[in-house]
């Protein structure tokens, strides 16, 4: 049996965490949560997720900085990063992709679409 | 000198951001609840759940329209000047006052994008470049301008050794978020213009830079 793919949610909003955690588990992923950028960097090293759902607006290190620091380390080359943002600006999307994110999703989003993007990034058919 | 830090309309941005975040939580929760509904669900409960789902989608469409309605306040702002004039001003001021050399790439004419509060952008950029010279001994900067996916990208690049790159990275927030003499922080000014600014580090090329992305207006 194929091992469960690991998804790390990085967000400081408990309400969105609650729903995303549930929906991702429903899709068969192993899920963990980090509530700020520093915690996300530690979890990336210790827990080795396959994909990170990373909010841009975080206390302390923002999502862009987390993304950049992750990409500086060759061992994270296989890690997929999906940036979430509550800002709707094109400049932010471009910046996110330049910092090394694989996908960029604006809040609010359709969770069906989000799950589809996660599945595509992980190279597996949608459950 | 008194500066206006935010063009009209931009003050809505934090509110729209909060609205987007809250709506995302609401939609995700309602869509998650749909998966938990029992097969023999009461018809009224099902109808009510459908209302929440449908209104979540409708509110998303409304917030998307609001998001684009806020930003064009920029185009009605007074004192607009072409970006190329501002860059010329920056090059002159940097060259004479800061002993800082800025080169534009040959043949790369800055795109015609107009900005309100352009003088403030120049003043704040000069303040940041001055801090780079003072704190990091940066004395030669190359300015490259180009179009990037319909946005204007300005790259201020300078050579930096490995230890300097680390020090710069650690000073990232201080450089971009600290207010200068009489000017607000560079990031605040750029974001008020609808743009983004960040520090870039290229280890392979041993260079660092400030990248500004500005939307066409």
- Residue, of B216 and B170, whose pLDDT is higher: B170
Lowest mean pLDDT among A22-26, A48-52, B101-105: B101-105
**In the structure encoding, which two tokens stand for residue B164, read together?**
């300097």
Task: Give backbone dihedrals phi and psi of B205, rounded to 5 degrees, phi first.
Answer: -90, 0
**Predicted local confidence at residue B40, as pLDDT:** 83
Residue of B10, B23, B24, B197 to mutate, interface with A, max A Cβ within 10 Å? B24
pLDDT band at B68; cut points 50, 70, 90: low
CA distance A83 to A106: 8
pLDDT in tens, A49-81: 999 999 999 998 999 999 999 998 999 999 999
Q: Considering only A15-24, B27-36, B106-115, B120-129, which range has the smallest mean pLDDT?
A: B106-115
* B163: confidence class by pLDDT, cuts 50, 70, 90: confident
pLDDT in the model for residue B149 = 73
Q: For residue B190, what pLDDT is reported?
A: 87
The pLDDT value given to residue B215: 79
Confidence at B135, pLDDT banded by 50, 70, 90 = confident
DSSP, residue by residue, B43-79: HHHHHHHHHHHHHHHHHHHHHHHHHHHHGGGGGG-SS
Cα of A50 to nearest chain B Cα, Å: 22
Contacts of A120 (CB under 8 A, 6+ apart): none
Residue B83 or residue B140, greater confidence: B140
A88 contacts chain B (CB < 8 A)? yes
Q: Mean pLDDT of all residues in chain B?
A: 77
ipTM over 0.90: no
Cβ-Cβ contacts under 8 Å, B15 against chain A: none
Mutate to test the interface with A, among B13, B28, B169 (most CBs of A within 10 A): B28
Arithmetic mean of pLDDT, B192-206:
86
pLDDT of B3 higher than 50: no
Q: Is the predicted pLDDT of residue A36 greater than 80, yes or no?
A: yes
The span from the CA of A49 to the CA of A42, in Å, is 11
Residue of B116 and B69 predicted with greater confidence: B116
Task: Using the predicted structure, report yes or no on whether residue B168 has a pLDDT greater than 80.
Answer: yes
Q: What are the contacts of B207-211 at 24+ separation with CB within 8 A?
A: B207/B157, B207/B158, B207/B159, B207/B160, B208/B157, B208/B158, B208/B160, B208/B164, B208/B165, B208/B168, B209/B155, B209/B156, B209/B157, B209/B158, B210/B128, B210/B155, B210/B156, B211/A98, B211/B153, B211/B154, B211/B155, B211/B156
Rounded to an integer, the average pLDDT of B68-74 is 46
B19-35 average pLDDT score: 91
* Average of per-residue pLDDT across B96-119: 61
pLDDT of residue B201: 85
Beta-carbon contacts of B171 under 8 Å, excluding residues fewer than 6 positions away, are B135, B136
Residue B80 has pLDDT above 70, yes or no: no
> What is the pLDDT, as a whole number, of residue B188?
86
Judge whether residue B7 has pLDDT over 70.
Answer: no
Give the number of other Cβ atoms within 10 Å of residue B34's Cβ.
14
- Provide the pLDDT for residue A7: 98
| Cβ-Cβ contacts under 8 Å, B165 against chain A | none
pLDDT at B153: 84
Q: Which of residues 30-49 of A touch B (CB under 8 A)?
A: none
Q: Give percent of chain A with pLDDT exceeding 70.
A: 96
User: Which of the four pLDDT bands, split at 50, 70 and 90, describes residue A82?
Assistant: very high
């Amino acid at each position: 049996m194929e091992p469960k793919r690991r998804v790390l949610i990085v967000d400081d909003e408990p309400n969105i965490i609650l729903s995303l955690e549930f929906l991702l588990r429903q899709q068969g992923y192993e899920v963990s949560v980090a509530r700020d950028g520093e915690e996300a960097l530690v979890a990336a090293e210790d827990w080795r997720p396959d994909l990170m759902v990373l909010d841009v607006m975080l206390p302390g290190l923002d999502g862009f900085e987390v993304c950049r620091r992750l990409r500086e380390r060759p061992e994270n080359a296989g890690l997929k990063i999906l940036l979430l943002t509550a800002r709707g600006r094109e400049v932010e999307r471009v910046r996110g992709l330049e910092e090394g994110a694989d996908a960029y999703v604006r809040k609010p989003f359709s969770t069906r679409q989000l799950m589809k993007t996660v599945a595509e990034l992980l190279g597996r058919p949608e459950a | 000198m008194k500066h206006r830090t935010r063009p009209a309309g931009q003050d809505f941005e934090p509110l729209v951001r909060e609205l987007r975040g809250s709506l995302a939580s609401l939609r995700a929760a309602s869509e998650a609840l749909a998966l938990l509904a029992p097969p023999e669900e009461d018809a009224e409960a099902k109808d009510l759940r459908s209302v929440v789902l449908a209104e979540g989608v409708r509110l998303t469409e409304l917030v998307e329209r609001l998001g684009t309605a806020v930003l064009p306040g920029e185009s009605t702002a007074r004192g607009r000047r072409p970006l190329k004039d501002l860059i010329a001003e920056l090059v002159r001021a940097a060259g004479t006052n800061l002993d800082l050399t800025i080169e534009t790439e040959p043949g790369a004419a800055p795109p015609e994008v107009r900005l309100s509060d352009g003088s403030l952008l120049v003043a704040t950029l000069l303040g940041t470049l001055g801090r780079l010279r003072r704190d990091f001994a940066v004395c030669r900067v190359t300015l490259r301008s180009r179009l990037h996916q319909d946005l204007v990208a300005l790259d201020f690049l300078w050579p930096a050794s490995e230890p300097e790159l680390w020090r710069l990275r650690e000073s990232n927030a201080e450089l971009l978020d600290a207010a200068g003499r009489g000017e607000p922080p560079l990031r605040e000014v750029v974001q008020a213009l609808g743009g983004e600014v960040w520090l870039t580090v290229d280890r392979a090329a041993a260079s660092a830079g400030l990248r500004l992305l500005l939307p066409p207006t």
